[in-house]
Amino acid sequence: MQPLKVVSDNSTVYNSPNNKLDNSKMEIKPVNPDRALDQKLVEKAQKGDKQAFSLLVEKYQLKLYRLISRMVRDQSEIDDIVQDSFIKAYRAIGNFRGDSAFYTWLYRIGINTAKNHLVSLGKRPKAMDSNEIEEMENYESMSELRVSETPESTMMSNQIAATVNGAIQNLPDELREAISLREIDGLCYEEIAELMDCPIGTVRSRIFRARETIAEKLKPLIETTNKRW
Amino acid sequence: MNEKISSLFDSEINNIEVDTLLAKKNKMAGVRSSMSEYQMISDVLKKNTVLPKNNLTDKIMSAIDEEPTQMGGFIKANSSNTAVVSFEIWPVLGSLAVLVVIASTAFNIEVNSVSTSQFLAKEDIPKEIINAHHAATANNMNYFIQVGDSAK
Taking the domains of chain A in order of start, what are their residue ranges?
A: 1-147, 149-229
Average pLDDT for chain B: 71
Region B51-71: mean pLDDT is 79
Number of separate domains in chain B: 2
Residue in A111, A136, A117 with CA at minimum distance from that of residue A77: A117
In a domain, B71, yes or no: no
In a domain, B70, yes or no: no
Contact B53 A225 (CB under 8 A): yes
Same fold, A1-147 and A149-229: no
What dihedral angle (degrees, nearest 10) is formed by the CA atoms of B80, B86, B89, B94?
A: 120
Contact A208 B15 (CB under 8 A): no
pLDDT at B24: 81
pLDDT at A56: 93
B2, pLDDT greater than 60: yes
Region B52-67: mean pLDDT is 82
Q: Is B37 exposed, middle or buried (0-12, 13-18, 19+ CB in 10 A)?
A: buried
Region B50-57: mean pLDDT is 74
Region B67-75: mean pLDDT is 64
ipTM of the complex: 0.76
Q: Helices (DSSP H) in A24-74: which residue ranges?
A: 33-46, 50-68
In a domain, B11, yes or no: yes
B128, pLDDT greater than 80: no
Same structural domain, B22 and B57: yes
Parent domain of B31? 2-65
Q: How far apart are CA B96 and CA A119, in angstroms?
A: 44
In a domain, B77, yes or no: no
Residue B10 with chain A: CB contacts under 8 Å:
182, 188-189, 207
Residue A3 with chain B: CB contacts under 8 Å:
11-14
Residue B76 host element (H or E): strand B74-76
Residue B15 with chain A: CB contacts under 8 Å:
4, 40
CA distance A2 to chain B (A): 7
Mutate to test the interface with B, among A75, A109, A184, A211 (most CBs of B within 10 A): A211
B67, pLDDT greater than 60: yes
How many CB contacts within 8 angstroms connect chain A with chain B? 180
Mutate to test the interface with A, among B15, B57, B69, B80 (most CBs of A within 10 A): B57
Residue in A123, A106, A122 with CA at minimum distance from that of residue A68: A106
Same structural domain, B15 and B52: yes
In a domain, B54, yes or no: yes
Same structural domain, B100 and B142: yes
Q: Which of A66, A156, A208 sits opposite B3 (nearest CB)?
A: A208
Averaged pLDDT in 10-residue chunks for chain A of 229 residues: 38 34 45 80 90 91 88 89 95 88 92 91 70 60 56 81 92 96 93 95 96 92 65
Same structural domain, B58 and B9: yes
pLDDT of B96-123, one tens digit each?
A: 787 887 877 776 655 555 444 454 555 5
Contact A215 B18 (CB under 8 A): no
Topology annotation, domain A1-147: Rna Polymerase Sigma Factor; Chain: A (1.10.1740)
In a domain, B81, yes or no: no
Contacts of B28 (CB under 8 A, 6+ apart): A51, A54, B22
Contact A157 B40 (CB under 8 A): no
Same structural domain, B58 and B95: no
Specify whether domain A149-229 bears CATH 1.10.3720.10: no
